[in-house]
Structure 1
Amino acid sequence: MTGKYNSHYLYGSGTLEQGCGTYTLEVQGEPRTELKCAGAQDNPLNNYIYRDAALDAIGNFCKAQDGKVVKEGDEGSFIEETTFSIRYTDSCMGSGSYTVKHDYCVKYLTQALDSCDTDTIVYKHGGILKDTDNCGFFELHPKGYDKVACYPENKEKGYITDTREHLTVTQEMAQDAINTFCDRSGNGQQYTLYPDFQPSGFVQDTCKEKGYAACNYSYRKDGKRTTRGDTGDVVIRLEAFHSNFGNQLTCGPNQVYEIHGERCKQMLGKFIGTESVSECVNDKSKLDLGSFIESGDKGCVVWNMWAINPH
């Protein structure tokens, strides 16, 4: 009878002949693995991917790679894509080849996604998972990034063109504007970004311009949002739209983007100190807000959030 055993698993198979019968034993064990997270390095806004987008990409990638074989010392057999890699592990005592299986591929890359950067679902930086029993090497290495410009840098760069007096706002006021912007629906509200749409300028108060997302929300000094055309004391403006910036930035193909729900709130949360990554936040009672370019699974998208005096 043959088989293999180590301190973690019994695996392999064997046969036993006794009398006039032959008995077969086969034990299947889970391979041992090692995970090394990439981490945020010096800038959490570099080389990240949003979790839901990563899960979709992992499913598509692993389906396409199912059954492929990577071989020791044969770089031509290695699988290298923008976000994922699979190869044979260096200095591994294995058979010399590794066959990619869909279910393990999904499992390993999802571990590199979810067992790293556990404090966020937005800024996932990936990592490397090794199947040390069979010498498979799986890597999640996303390329998404954000470029942030806090006020007044965003105005100096032309991301916003308002000539009215700039105002600061409280975290509570800004959170209410974000929630309202990201959860709006009905009455002709638009929040779908079209890949080829370029706005000609901020369309005040409508929130109904097709192809991009733009809204005003008015507040009193006490933080209460106004209704029915009352401009209040502070107006918070939010907008998002596709832009490729010529050759200035590396952008993937623009995709239809639903600026709606939790992803919208999480992306804008960096301006108000509610996410694991916070930008433009010095004093939560006096937020200047700002702009950022998201270069990721939807292409390059500009997000602007600022407050002005309506009078």
Structure 2
Amino acid sequence: MTTTRTAGICSPTYRRLPTLALASPEDHVRELTDWVEHASVVRGGTAERRAWNSAYKWLRLAQGLRTMTFNMSYDDGGMCSAGGDFDVVWSEMMEAWQPHLVRLGYLRAALEGFARVLHPDGSQPVAAIERAEHQLFGRPDAWPVHAREVAEHLATHTSVRADGTDAVVASGVAQAIHVHRQTAHGLAGIPEPTNDANMQIFAAGYDEICAAREASTVVLLGIQMLLGAAVDEGSAAAFDDKYLLDGMWIPDSSGGSRWVDDEMPYSEFLAVLHLSPGEPPEF
């Protein structure tokens, strides 16, 4: 039997950079949850604060998801060894795929909640993110790093587009919602392992796993853009400073990166919180 783990097979460039690499969804959502915990909606009353807290709790659920365990074996008393190998690999595939899909559902709920509280005019999430995208256009200090690249990569996994929008991140969020909807409606195909002529079993489903992971990431980035626009216009505010415990690389004004190992305002941290800290520089 050959068991090939599915993680890392579809690995976009922005996840492999030596500095400013995109963090994994589980690390990304943890930092975004921390940001929201230190922020609040400014405009509105009790109902708006309650809605904000509800959206925050959906983020907390997504942040709390770490692993899922599957046992895809079907023991009928007469299974051959190849069948057992198939089920072991299939279980590993589901353990790699399903956490991203479950996380995507939680993140979509959080996105819907933030869109409702920040856009009481009834704007749908994609339209709200499109407005935020146009508002932050040309603002590298407020634009989440790699947001465009993630949306463009997700487009390689799905042909869905947001009708009538030229906003690439909003279009990416529309694609992510489609990925979630396909699963919720039972329309998504469930990948299975494959085998070769020698009956060795190999993992498959790389595209499905990558699509679910990048869909979760683009929704997180969409939430960041929504919050960034809200901070920009004064309808939300972040408090205190973010203490970078181990330091991290952040973009600099020249298009490169600089190492920061102290505190930075949470309002500035919003655009870079999804980056992997990276190794510290050698002085």
Give the TM interval when normalised to the shorter protein. Answer: under 0.3
Relative CO higher for 1 or 2, CA cutoff 8 Å, sep ≥ 6? Answer: 2
| Bigger Rg, which one | 1
Greater fraction of residues in strand: 1
Q: TM-score, normalised by structure 2?
A: 0.22
Q: TM-score, normalised by structure 1?
A: 0.20
